[in-house]
Structure 1
Amino acid sequence: HGSRAIILVTLYCTIGLICILAGFFLGRLSKSTSLDGVLWSEGDLMQTWEPNNTFSSHPTPESEAAWQSLIPEGRGFITHPILAPHGKSIAVFHELHCLHGIQIAYYTALHNLSLHSSTYSSKDNGTSADNFLLSLGARTHLSHIQHCFDYVRQALLCAADTNLEEPDPETGKTNGWGITRRCKDYKAVVNWAEKWKNNEAHTILGAEETH
């Protein structure tokens, strides 16, 4: 009887271990096949960052086109049979939308201050209304920008980028440029978003921002 009990215990333990391992590997397989490996990737693309003033300078039609090129068709809103049967949005595109909105609000505020100074100053500083910028600024609102400041803050904490940046040997400071780091494949995420898009919109700013 003792030998039989040992055999049964060993058998049950073996079956249990097999079930656990099977569940683990099937789970990994399910993720990689159903999600194309995109949303679960921790990043395997090596990139060296260099400054790009297109996204940080005064907004122009050319810079807006550059921002627009970052956003997929569907604006990152997807319907997926497993992940989002009722529709969801991919966070990175919301984050870019918010960062862009903050940029527009910042330069609009600077421009309005300059116009105000020109109007009430005894000297004409040559400032004229930038109708292109003002048309963009009219599509942002204080409540939306307040939302975006905190949304981007929490997004940075959530991502918690742990790439290491070397400081300048002379100043001891770092600006992040010229450093090679490990990144996710952004183009792959864009392609995945467009594969599962649930609409045809393709704008980084909506007609009216009301977050």
Structure 2
Amino acid sequence: MKNTATPIDDVTAVAIPPKPRGRPRSFDREAALDAAMQVFWEKGFEGASISDLTSAMNVNPPSLYAAFGDKETLFLATIEHYAKSRSDQMCPEQKTAREAVETYLRFKADILTGAGHPRGCLLMVAFFTATSASPKLQAVLATKRTEARENMKERIKRGIKDGDVPVGTDASELADFYTTILGGMAQQARDGATTRTLHAVVDRAMTLFPSKSN
């Protein structure tokens, strides 16, 4: 009798199970956000491709969409992740408004030029590279850009109330000045300025902070 059994080494007879789709069980959302943040920070919102993001996050496109929905939602999540890891709070432990502003600017100088991440500020990069983003994303970026200014203004107002900033000082105008300095520092860092250079900028900027003797 003729043997009609299929040889076990016949590849056409072996059913290959499909690869599982979606996020792996070991998916670490925080690690994925950190990886995506690095890509957006380096390339900007529009410059970062899905391929760039999935490669850095070590996931496939279906996993990315399952976890975050779309590129814009992922970007919004990385903005929040960035804000949490690099607080914009105005150093509440400092006794005076001047000390708080100076400490904050020096903290930013170190962050802007620090190792382990692209130079500059992710929010500044986002501002210049998300011009075609949705109104929702633009609104979030606008809010984030004003948070540092508002925190600084409130700390200066507290200094006026506490007596370490001269009465009559325009807290809003002074906050505008120092957030403009901060924006310039972020751009300089992006262009290659050293930590020492940015601290020198802070030195000069703080000579203009109003004091009782001014």
TM-score, with length taken from structure 2: 0.28
**1 or 2 for the larger relative contact order (CA 8 Å, sep ≥6)?**
1
Q: Give the structure with the higher percent strand.
A: 1
TM-score, with length taken from structure 1: 0.29
Q: Give the structure with the higher percent helix.
A: 2
